[in-house]
Structure 1
Amino acid sequence: MAENKEEDVNLGANKYRETQPLKTAAQTDKDYKEPPPAPLFEPGELSSWSFYRAGIAEFMATFLFLYITILTVMGLKRSDSLCSSVGIQGVAWAFGGMIFALVYCTAGISGGHINPAVTIWSVLGKKLSLTRAVFYIVMQCLGAICGAGVVKGFMVGPYERLNGGANVVNPGYTKGDGLGAEIIGTFVLVYTVFSATDAKRSARDSHVPILAPLPIGFAVFLVHLATIPTTGTGTNPARSLGAATIYNQDQAWDDHWIFWVGPFIGQALAAVYHQIIIRAIPFKSSRS
């Protein structure tokens, strides 16, 4: 009896190679169900508690995101602060780590967007109704403003001296440089979101373990490492709006359009690329 069990274990462990070519049994023997498309308008959501719960989750997540990350930026820029030793790497980890934690906490409630660019993609991909998307974006922006406001309340003088963590095109770079950095940075982030959450990819490439918040947070970390010297890294219009609103100086608003236009172009390009690379590959389910 024990020998038979051991044979069963060996058979299960060696049934498929670690890497499988497309359309082999390891991939086609998996069920694949495309979620139904969300309607463009769904007024009935307005009477649902889950609708408001999701909005509250987006508000709190963006609030906490701005609170932790802007405080870290303030610490980096203060020469008399112990946090100044964290460097750009520490700021990047703060942004990436918070996204990892917050997406993990809110994914089951609201989808864990925390970014209007991700929300707009969800509408274009028919994963979210326009009704819910508008509510999400409003709550994200309000959460960001409140998060930055709390930081200012704690720091007051230093907040004004240190530009409030607002995104601007840094000296030595042109507006074109800043726009390009925001487009490419958002492309990397949103493409990672697509790949980590796509049901078809998960079914086809099921031999690759995926914990969605981890690659998303790591993408945010890497993008910040690359683009902090250029724009301070926006890639999230709510984050940029929250910091600019509370700081409210001309320099914060001069280039503010870049931090909306760049992310929306970047997410559109990521959507097209994802459609070509992931969605266009045929997938055959074992059950029809």
Structure 2
Amino acid sequence: MNLFGKFKKGVSKTRSQVFNRISHAVKAKKKIDDELLEEIEEILISGDVGVETSMELIERVKRRVKKEKYENSEDLLNILKEEIVSIFPPHHFKEDSFPEKPYVIMVVGVNGTGKTTSIAKMGYRFQQKGKRVMFAAADTFRAAAIEQLEVWANRLEIDLIKHQSGSDPAAVVFDAIQAAKARNIDVLIIDTAGRLHTKVNLMEELKKIRRVSQKAMEGTPHLTLLVLDATTGQNALSQAKQFVEAVEADGIILTKLDGTAKGGAIIGISSRLNLPVYYVG
């Protein structure tokens, strides 16, 4: 399924409040004019896409309309869809082909965003493609986090590397990479702590994990994914900025998209930070 298809499927509430409103606005007009484009811009902003990104999208649409001489308002929906898709940076990740083994994925994000569930879903997807998967429980600040990941690991029959609660997260990652090498694992997925992003210590801890990971295996983590909660809308942007600065995130996993009208925020966040969306859940 293409990105727009995934986005629409996962965004039932946003779709009903944003895309359906745009569709109604378009159907009410026969021709494309400034009034219609302004109305669409307002709808995008109200859908939490963000002022800057909404304005950019409308400018792109205007240029397309002028250049390709569109007049019929019905053409506008397809143009807008194409421009929304084009505003997302592309990624070149292939789930069934890893350039190195073990392929190390580090998953970051504040508590409550759905990191652990996202890790479980990724693990299952890789399993379905015939890959050997391992989890690393590097969120050692919460005993419940280790237990939750262990439940998923047992359910999916995936190897788990863990230490006691309160131990050094970087040590967990080092041991996990060594174990993944020894056990011929295809992909290692690392869970990390997610205390509030205002805690400077968390960012320093994540940087340390990256350094230790690189010592254990050069070039790792190969992929760092930031999990964002769609229900926080544009507020997720400030979270994202700090994580991007601290851990050089490569892309986004957007969770809880079907339970919010703020899912449009991912368009602005992805565009502003130049981060592709890897998964929608």
TM-score range, shorter chain: under 0.3
Name the structure with the higher strand share.
Answer: 2
Name the structure with the higher helix share.
Answer: 1
Question: What TM-score do you get using the length of structure 1 for normalisation?
Answer: 0.23
Question: What TM-score do you get using the length of structure 2 for normalisation?
Answer: 0.24
